[in-house]
């Protein structure tokens, strides 16, 4: 397959380091979790809080009161005070020496970020581990032992808060689109960040989950941005027949949604990419993907990348495209230069491709999967 005019970096040393290019709030470079005991204590306490709804409240408020938290979470006041005491003792929270309030410690967000990796693998993906034999042998295992989608979303967001949201937002701020579209928008964290950063911009979020669409609209209301965002509840595949949400976009972003179509719906993925290219060629805009690539073998990425790759290929029955294959999918839709940016999350890449204004996509190369899947 001809990859002329496509920038595909296979060797990790040739990747563009997103942190070196785009501004953002990244994880601490210091080893704040120094050993397995630190990790075990931090991860377990934060998972307790996540399951109770405590973490969401702690992240939303600058300071919190134990009695109010107990009321909001429907817990006995003494049990809430005991949990907050444990958080203070662990260095997750700081108690106000004067009043009864608690606030996040300086490194709270970093603790969430690092814990997110462990909890995604061991908690959100727990059915894969508890029911390994069924997943390997029984076709009905995904229906009999499904993952908790809520936990997947929560712990993935903890990882994303430091690993890929900051560089993606930095990239979008530099381009400064008038209209931003997010496919698989979730609770609209990224869109609302874009709208807050780019004065006068508007956004469209597309997601298939009615619950997260409802939360996205609530989040927009709470931030005073509801008049600048439209949340559309529909599947990604619907953009083949009705691409209207893409109209006028300066950037279309898709975070970890296209690999869910592969390999069975490869033609559908290319058709959606083509409609994105058609819309973006009106503005000279960009397609930005936050996506997975399989089995990175460098020392920094190899362990978590292996977990991601194995779970996706064996238990979720997905095929993760290699960088050359991601480039091929985008070229088959009319995009030309394709850039790959390295982020902190092992096995993840930001992929950026521009649709040149007025570009024609009448003659397009055919896409073909490479001979062997990793």
| Domain-embedded: residue 90 | yes
pLDDT score of 8: 46
18 and 64 housed in the same domain:
no
17 and 70 housed in the same domain:
no
Q: What is the longest distance spanned by two Cα atoms in the chain?
A: 70
Report whether 144 contacts 138 (CB < 8 A).
Answer: yes
pTM score = 0.89
HEC readout, 278-306: HHHCCCCCEEEEEEECCCCCCCCCHHHHH
SS3 content of the chain, % helix, strand, coil (to 5): 50, 15, 35
Report whether 184 contacts 209 (CB < 8 A).
Answer: no
Tokens 């931090």 label which residue? 42
Closest by alpha carbon to 292, among 354, 235, 236, 347? 347
| Domain-embedded: residue 145 | no
Specify the number of domains making up the chain.
2
Domain of 20, CATH number, reads 3.40.50.150
pLDDT score of 34: 72
Residue 214 parent element (H or E): helix 210-222
Q: What is the C-alpha separation between 207 and 107, in angstroms, rounded? A: 32
19 and 65 housed in the same domain:
no
182 and 55 housed in the same domain:
no
| Domain-embedded: residue 56 | yes
220 and 346 housed in the same domain:
yes
| Domain-embedded: residue 373 | no
172 and 311 housed in the same domain:
yes
Q: What is the C-alpha separation between 291 and 334, in angstroms, rounded? A: 19
| Domain-embedded: residue 364 | no
Opening angle at CA 118, ends 112 and 119, nearest 5: 75
Strand, coil or helix: what is 339? Answer: strand
178 and 245 housed in the same domain:
yes
| Domain-embedded: residue 304 | yes
pLDDT score of 235: 97
Q: Give me the residues of the chain with pLDDT under 50, please.
A: 1-14, 374
| Domain-embedded: residue 185 | yes
Domain of 42, CATH number, reads 1.10.10.10
Domain final position from 68, 85, 106: 106
**Spatial CB neighbours of 120, under 8 Å, sequence gap ≥ 6:** 152, 155, 156, 159
Q: In what order do the strands lie in the sheet with 202-207?
A: 16-17, 338-342, 348-354, 286-292, 251-255, 179-183, 202-207, 229-233
Structure tokens at 47: 């998972």
User: In terms of C-beta density within 10 A (0-12 exposed, 13-18 middle, 19 or more buried), how is residue 120 classed?
Assistant: buried
75 and 171 housed in the same domain:
no
215 and 269 housed in the same domain:
yes
pLDDT score of 10: 44
**Spatial CB neighbours of 66, under 8 Å, sequence gap ≥ 6:** 77, 80, 81, 84, 100, 102
182 and 266 housed in the same domain:
yes
238 and 337 housed in the same domain:
yes
Q: What is the C-alpha separation between 281 and 334, in angstroms, rounded? A: 10
Strand, coil or helix: what is 307? Answer: helix
294 and 337 housed in the same domain:
yes
Closest by alpha carbon to 1, among 363, 350, 332, 334? 332
Opening angle at CA 217, ends 24 and 119, nearest 5: 55
Domain final position from 106, 124, 143: 106
> Residue 217: which domain range?
12-26+163-354
Domain final position from 89, 106, 123: 106
pLDDT score of 19: 66
Q: What is the C-alpha separation between 309 and 296, in angstroms, rounded? A: 9
| Domain-embedded: residue 127 | no
């Amino acid at each position: 397959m001809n990859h002329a005019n496509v920038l595909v970096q296979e060797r990790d040393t040739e990747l563009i380091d997103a942190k070196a290019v785009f501004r953002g709030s990244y994880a601490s470079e210091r080893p704040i979790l120094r050993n397995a005991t630190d990790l075990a204590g931090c991860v377990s306490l934060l998972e307790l809080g996540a399951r109770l709804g405590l973490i969401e409240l702690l992240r939303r408020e600058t300071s919190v009161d134990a009695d109010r938290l107990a009321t909001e979470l429907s817990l006995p006041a003494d049990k809430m005070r005991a949990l907050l005491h444990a958080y203070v003792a662990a260095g997750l929270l700081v108690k106000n020496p004067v009043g009864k309030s608690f606030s996040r410690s300086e490194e709270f967000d970093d603790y969430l970020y690092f814990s997110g990796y462990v909890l995604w693998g061991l908690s959100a993906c727990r059915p894969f581990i508890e029911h390994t034999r069924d997943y390997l042998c029984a076709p009905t295992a995904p229906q009999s032992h499904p993952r908790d989608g809520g936990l997947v979303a929560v712990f993935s967001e903890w990882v994303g808060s430091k690993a890929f949201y900051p560089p993606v937002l930095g990239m979008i701020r530099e381009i400064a689109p008038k209209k931003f579209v997010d496919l698989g928008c979730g609770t609209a964290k990224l869109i609302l960040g874009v709208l807050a950063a780019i004065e006068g911009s508007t956004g469209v979020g597309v997601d298939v989950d009615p619950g997260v669409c409802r939360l996205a609209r609530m989040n927009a209301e709470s931030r005073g941005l509801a008049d600048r965002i439209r949340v559309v509840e529909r599947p990604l595949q619907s953009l083949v027949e009705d691409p209207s949400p893409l109209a006028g976009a300066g950037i279309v972003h898709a975070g970890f949604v296209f690999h869910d179509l592969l390999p069975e719906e490869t033609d559908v993925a290319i058709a959606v990419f083509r409609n994105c290219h058609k819309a973006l060629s009106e503005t000279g805009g960009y397609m930005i993907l936050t996506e997975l690539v399989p089995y990175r073998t460098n020392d920094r990425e190899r362990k978590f990348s292996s977990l991601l790759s194995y779970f996706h290929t064996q238990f979720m029955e997905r095929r993760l495209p290699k960088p050359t294959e991601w480039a091929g999918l985008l070229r088959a839709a009319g995009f030309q230069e394709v850039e790959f940016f390295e982020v902190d999350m092992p096995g993840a890449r930001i992929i950026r491709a521009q649709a040149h204004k007025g570009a024609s996509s009448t003659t397009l190369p055919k896409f073909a999967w490479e001979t062997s899947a990793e």
